[in-house]
Amino acid sequence: MSQPLLGLGLKALEAWAQEHGQAAFRGRQLHDWLYAKGARQLAEVSVLPKGFREQLAAQPPEGAFDWMGRSRELHRSVARDGTTKLLLGTHDGLSIETVGIPAEGRLTVCVSSQVGCPMACRFCATGKGGLQRSLAVHEIVDQVLSVREVMEQRPSHVVFMGMGEPLLNIEAVLAAIDCLCTDLGMAQRQITVSTVGVPRTLPRLAELALERLGRAQFTLAVSLHAPDQRLREELIPTAHAYPIEDLLEDCRRYVAITGRRVSFEYILLGGLNDQPRHAAALAQLLRGFQSHVNLIPYNPIAEEEFQRPTPAAVDGFRRALQDRHVAVSVRASRGLDADAACGQLRRRLEGSLEPVLAR
């Protein structure tokens, strides 16, 4: 079974070249054209023999348009703050959303791990259309390359906070992290994996990370969004199968295995979970935990009538946590006017948008 080249490391590309009757140095050339030059099609790799390129073009790999494994850009929207959302088309007619978030001296890429999402969080647009499928390694790495290409800047950070639940696609996510670090030169500490929680999966993530990556230095961000099980189930229907006490116990096991603290994400919904009593309950829940809380003011989506919290409520919640010695920060909303902010990504319908660039 053939597979795209994107996502393969240097040694694997050398072996691939030899398996196809070429010298090993052809694999090194491919590695440079894939990751440094960002070639989109094998035909662009002019250093390869023309006959070899033509031979491969006649038998494209499974699961991609071309041997290089790149996607097709369907649509691009740029917010006033420079945040850029890309809609990328897959070989099977589906679409992926990814976002480039510029800031002074850095560029963060928010990548998707699935097409759609099965977790059905009420405040998130992605889950409204359900899950189509998980993404392959090349489809994840391609998002980072696509943002780099469009924004003409080397990404400094990658967050798995786009479409999908990363822990339902662990193998591909870890392989993508390996590729980003080994082949694109990123550091694990520049990468964050966000999850709403999948039963009995966090300890496995920790063990697999140590096995596949040699160490687990990426940041784990766990979405809580409520200080108790009842409210959490109201916001995240799938949470009924994963009591918050069990989730926190798995987080403690993750910390014990990796030695890394956990970051907890908490979306503030106006009048629902943003009151001082909620902050006090959250602080009590996390008491003694090696953690950090990231507060995220709700970004509106059309299907729900949740309210964005007032600035006073956000500041009051933050101060209530700080007064109880909880490390806390507030995430600034970026890309709101382009529907590119946290929770606003959604699976587009097939055929709804035409490519903006000829590929």
Specify the pLDDT at position 342. 52
Q: How would you label 131-161 residue by residue, b for 16+ Cβ within 10 Å and e otherwise? A: bbebbbbbbbbbbbbbbbebbeeebebbbbb
CA proximity to 231, closest of 199, 273, 189 = 273
**Under 8 Å between Cβ of 190 and 160:** no
Spatial separation of the C-alpha atoms in residues 357 and 339, rounded to whole Å: 21
What pLDDT, on the 0 to 100 scale, is given for residue 343?
Answer: 47
The CATH fold of domain 72-338 = TIM Barrel (3.20.20)
Mean pLDDT, 10 residues at a time, the chain of 359 residues: 91 97 98 97 95 92 95 95 95 95 95 94 82 97 98 98 96 98 98 96 97 96 97 94 96 95 96 97 93 92 84 97 96 62 49 36
User: What pLDDT score was predicted for residue 128?
Assistant: 75
- Angstrom distances, CA of residue 307 to CA of 120, 269, 273, 317: 18, 6, 11, 16
SS3 state at 72: strand
CA-CA-CA-CA torsion sign (332, 338, 344, 346): negative
Q: Is 342 a catalytic residue?
A: yes
**Candidates 97, 139, 165, 265; catalytic one:** 97
Of the candidates 110, 181, 251, 342, the residue annotated as catalytic is 342
- What pLDDT does residue 300 have? 83
- Provide the pLDDT for residue 133: 97
Q: Helix or strand or coil: residue 32?
A: helix
Assess whether 265 carries a catalytic annotation.
no
Residues near 19 by Cβ (< 8 Å), separated by ≥ 6? none
Alpha-carbon distance of 63 to 126, in angstroms, equals: 23
pLDDT at 305 (0 to 100): 83
Left (φ > 0), alpha (ψ -120 to 50) or beta: where does 343 sit? left
Spans of all domains in the chain = 10-57, 72-338
CB proximity list for 214: less than 8 A, separation 6 or greater:
none
d(CA 88, CA 76): 9
Element (H, E) at 263: strand 262-268
**Residue 266 CA: distances (Å) to CA of 109, 236, 300:** 20, 12, 15
Pairing of strands 157-160, 106-110: parallel
Whole-structure pTM value: 0.92
